[in-house]
Amino acid sequence: MPAKSVNQHEVNRATLSMAGWRVVTQDVHSATASSATAYTVQEVNTRRAVVAFAGSFLDIRLNINTTAAATDFPLMPSHHHVFDVSKDETINIYNTTGGAIDVFILELF
């Protein structure tokens, strides 16, 4: 069996910890270096979003439905974070690093 990445491990843990929830969409969002990007929730049935990324401490800042900035809430790397969201809401991500970071997002219902 091939080794799993830290992100895949966290996504699997999030999925198991939310047993009974169904994954409706899985996406990899590229958070551009030193700027804000937005991911729009796609599915009408979505009730939760799980967000995970690999990186060093405080690389990613997050805000829901408002543009993210470098001073917003920091996400811990290599952990899964669960947010209550619904269709057309935005998960706004600010990348404080000099390079792009892949952010893994699961939409659940």
Tens of pLDDT, residues 10-27: 777 776 666 667 788 999
pLDDT band of residue 3 (cuts 50, 70, 90) is low
Question: Does residue 1 register a pLDDT over 60?
Answer: no
Q: Domain for residue 40, yes or no?
A: yes
Helix (H, G, I), strand (E, B) or coil at 43: coil
Q: How many angstroms separate the CA atoms of 94 and 74, rounded?
A: 9
Q: Domain for residue 1, yes or no?
A: no
Which residue type does 37 have?
T
Residue 27 is predicted with a pLDDT of 93
Residue 65: which domain range?
6-108
Tens of pLDDT, residues 47-106: 999 998 887 666 899 999 999 999 998 888 888 899 999 999 999 999 998 888 899 999
17 membership: H or E segment, kind and range: helix 6-17
Q: How many angstroms separate the CA atoms of 52 and 10, rounded?
A: 7
Phi-psi region of 42 (alpha: psi -120 to 50; beta: other; left: phi over 0): alpha
Global pTM? Answer: 0.78
CATH code (residue 100): 2.60.120.1030
40 - beta bridge partners? Answer: 90
Residue 4 is predicted with a pLDDT of 66
Residue 39 is predicted with a pLDDT of 96
Sign (positive or negative) of CA dihedral 13, 107, 7, 80: negative
Q: For the chain, what is the domain count?
A: 1
